[in-house]
Amino acid sequence: MSLLWFVGLWVIALVVVKISHWWYQWSNPKSNGKLPPGSMGFPIIGETFDYFKPHGFYEISPFIKKKMLRYGPLFRTNILGVKTVVSTDMDVNLDILRHENKYFSLSYPDGLTKPLGKDSFFFKTGNIHKHIKHISMRLLGSENLKRKIIKDMDCVTQEHLSLKAKQQRFDVKDAVSNLITSHLTPKVISNLKPETQSKLIKNFNAFSFDWFRTSYKLSAVRGLYNTLWACKDGMQMMKDIYARRKTSREKYDDFLETTLEELEKEGSLVNEDVIVCLIFTLCCITQDTTSKATCMAVKFVSENPKVLAELKREHEAILASREDKQGGVTWEEYRHKMTFTNMVINESLRLTNLAPMMFRKVVQDKLTIFCANISTPGYTIPAGWIVMVIPSVVHLDSEIYENPFEFNPWRWEGKELRSGSKTFMVFGAGVRQCAGSEFARLQISIFLHHLVTTYDFSLSKDCEVVRAPGSQASARVARNPETWPKREEVARMTEKVWRCDQSQQLQQNRTGHSQRLRL
């Protein structure tokens, strides 16, 4: 054998040994104790593709199900190139979320949070986070909703619904997204020129977390582009507006004024960039989350005539007992006369799982977590690993919710409806618990109120909802010969992930006009 062959074989053997060693290290990561069982998949990509595979709306992700069957409720994997422990255990989930800042810190994949910039509250911890949350609640807390938001929310919802009723069909997600930015933007910044306001609203509406969630590659790229552009343009507009307001010294009764006051307080923990980012982020998240939650609630109600009948009964009773017949929904009505509505909202949020997973980074090494229903002394997760909390598995567990895929608001009868628990974590838990939960509940309630008391409606049949687990739900258009659009419109519709799935066909019943509404 020539020397060249000999050297060549050695090099190949060396490369094979190196790769095998690297692969072994990849598959068996180091820990100071015992890691949860699991597999890390292929080097670099891990098990990302399996994890993100779309699946039916009425099933738990096959990836998660397979892993749970094999390894139990806590397992290790690698997703998006990051060493990850997945928790589907309700006690562990709650423990993790409650130990924010001590053992864990919020750490979403860069792609999800980076568009909002480094000043976003997603990157803030400890006292600064607490302070920002406090400022957010001055806009989204019950007191402000009751005093300043509910009246316009009601008026604008009525107006938008009435305009939509003039069309044959409309898209609930888009309609709610638009009506939220229409009534909320003037509360946030009250003195905008109409053209500036509509440009800003366009940016709020263009923002969506869906680009990260969608399984369609083209729409993911388009969604990312739209979101990045909306953030860049919107944030710059916000900066200019902020600077103008600051120099003008004029006083207005809006959220921008509140933030300016906070900024000027002695020892304020936030700066101008944080505030600008906060205002922009709150407006974007509000429309993105609430519009999806509302359209899913409308979808479930449309599909369940018994639920619709009970909902109508509750809201007709509210109308009948209302003293001011011209007035809209009052805070009293919302808080004390909408028990069934809240049961519907809870059930809808449980099934939808808008936030199917929450990400935390382990910040303290040698952290040991215990799983109540497996008999092991506990697992040690090294610092730097991500822990992915998946409450959606608990929400769809048949041992906790009988027939979990059935939409049954009555299962909430007699239960506490407004607070979360380890079995109902749709708004998260601990210090990072959702700041906008009350806003979302109020908007969904008001939308349902006007929808069921004023219109007959049915769900458009040409779409279905699927889950793409990185997110949770996106839509696929299904063929329906009567309603299917012309060929050139198909591509446009399939790209509008949230658009077509929850479209509603409405008919006005109060006036006797029978109108079909169109997209």
Cβ proximity to ligand HEM: between 133 and 148 the closer is 133
What are 55's strand-pairing partners?
467
Beta carbon of residue 290, minimum distance to ligand HEM (angstroms, whole number)? 5
Contact 354, 292 (CB under 8 A): yes
* Alpha carbon distance 50, 55 (integer Å): 11
| 428: alpha, beta or left? (left if phi > 0; alpha if psi -120 to 50) | left
Cβ proximity to ligand HEM: between 40 and 189 the closer is 189
Closest CA to 358 of 332, 331, 392: 392
Beta carbon of residue 441, minimum distance to ligand HEM (angstroms, whole number)? 8
Beta carbon of residue 45, minimum distance to ligand HEM (angstroms, whole number)? 25
Cβ proximity to ligand HEM: between 241 and 293 the closer is 293
Contact partners, residue 45, CB within 8 Å, separation at least 6 = 81
Burial of 344 (0-12, 13-18, 19+ CB in 10 A): buried
Beta carbon of residue 76, minimum distance to ligand HEM (angstroms, whole number)? 20
Cβ proximity to ligand HEM: between 165 and 369 the closer is 369
Eight-class DSSP state of 485: P
295 labelled ligand-binding: no
Beta carbon of residue 425, minimum distance to ligand HEM (angstroms, whole number)? 7
Torsion of CA 300, 301, 307, 313, to 10 degrees: 160
Alpha-carbon separation of residue 278 from 67, 135, 440 (angstroms): 38, 9, 18
Beta carbon of residue 314, minimum distance to ligand HEM (angstroms, whole number)? 20
Cβ proximity to ligand HEM: between 121 and 340 the closer is 121
Cβ proximity to ligand HEM: between 358 and 452 the closer is 358
Cβ proximity to ligand HEM: between 293 and 301 the closer is 293
Distance in angstroms between the alpha carbons of the first and the last residue of the chain: 75
Question: Around Cβ 377, how many Cβ atoms within 10 Å?
Answer: 9
User: 3-state DSSP call for residue 509?
Assistant: coil
Beta carbon of residue 446, minimum distance to ligand HEM (angstroms, whole number)? 13
**Which residues here bind ligand HEM, judged by CB under 6 A?**
106, 121, 133, 136, 140, 282, 285-286, 289-290, 293, 349, 354-355, 358, 426-428, 432, 434-436, 439-440
* Alpha carbon distance 237, 225 (integer Å): 18
Ranges of beta strands (E only) in 331-482 are 358-362, 367-369, 379-381, 386-389, 455-459, 463-467, 474-477
- Provide the residue count of the chain: 519
Cβ proximity to ligand HEM: between 290 and 304 the closer is 290
Scanning the structure block, which residue is given the tokens 């808008």? 354
Closest chain position to ligand HEM (CB)? 436
Beta carbon of residue 23, minimum distance to ligand HEM (angstroms, whole number)? 33
Annotated binding site for heme: 434
Sequence ranges of the binding site: 434
